[in-house]
Amino acid sequence: MRLVFLGPPGAGKGTQARELAQEWHVPQVSTGDMLREAVAAGTPLGTEAKRYMDQGALVPDAVIIGLIAERLGRPDAARGFILDGFPRTIGQAEALGGLLKDLGRPLDGVVNFEVSEPELIRRLTGRRVCRGCGHSFHVVSNPPKRAGVCDACGGELYQRSDDSEATVRNRLDVYRRQTAPLLDYYRERGLLTSVAGEGRIDDIRAAIRRSASERAQ
């Protein structure tokens, strides 16, 4: 299976990508992890990427596409892959399409995770971190035994500024402006399947499995 997982921050696509990649014996290709690995390994592309990151600049698409080309060339990607967090823009989608065409391995499908905005905000703003030991909790899905108090060390729990509602709304706006146009791009190419990203994690996974097996036929 050669799939892209698309969805806003907080949609749960990383969790599903990790589980399904294990199940299908294919790599989960996340650009964030890939960049960190390439920088740590000091590969030529990693060194180039680091120059941009050190300046606080965005790593150019050409460098990311180069890293993806390297990653998909490894033996474990022969059976397929799940791209998680890439592409984010139409430009990146076009570059990815060109690369996969050159490799003779086009995408089988794009899975779009649909989650309502109130639910995304609830998920993304619910995180609480311990001032003492850094352990993190979620007010709904993983609450501490006593509200506001760390189970591990008794320290005070607080909300990080990037988890505040204003910042979260801004991240969701950026997603809508940049990435939502990709839904039409892939729909027009007959590649898009949407799954409901709310509900039990197992049910969501089953829905993705069903759509992937339909794609594989």
Residue 192's alpha-carbon distances to 57, 109, 153, 184, in angstroms, are 31, 6, 46, 9
Min dist CB 141 to Zn ion, Å, is 18
Q: Is the dihedral of CA 44, 45, 46, 49 positive or negative?
A: positive
Contact track, Zn ion, 72-111, x by CB under 5 A = ----------------------------------------
SS3 107: coil
Min dist CB 134 to Zn ion, Å, is 7
**H-helix segments, the chain:** 13-24, 31-41, 44-54, 61-72, 90-103, 117-125, 165-178, 181-188, 201-216
Min dist CB 177 to Zn ion, Å, is 37
Give the residue numbers annotated as catalytic, written as ranges: 13, 88, 127, 160, 171
Q: How far apart are CA 157 and CA 201, in angstroms?
A: 26
| Residues near Zn ion (CB under 5 A), total | 8
Q: Which is nearer to Zn ion, 106 or 132 (CB)?
A: 132
Binding residues for Zn ion restricted to 125-184, rule: CB under 5 A: 130, 132-133, 135, 150, 152-153, 155
Q: Which is nearer to Zn ion, 93 or 130 (CB)?
A: 130
Q: Which is nearer to Zn ion, 153 or 216 (CB)?
A: 153
Phi and psi torsions of 7, nearest 5°: 165, 160
Q: Which is nearer to Zn ion, 88 or 135 (CB)?
A: 135
Is-contact 118 126, C-beta < 8 A?
A: no
Min dist CB 138 to Zn ion, Å, is 15
Which residues neighbour 44 within 8 Å (Cβ) at sequence distance 6 or greater? none
Number of CB atoms found within 10 A of residue 156's CB: 13
The footprint of Zn ion (CB under 5 A) covers: 130, 132-133, 135, 150, 152-153, 155
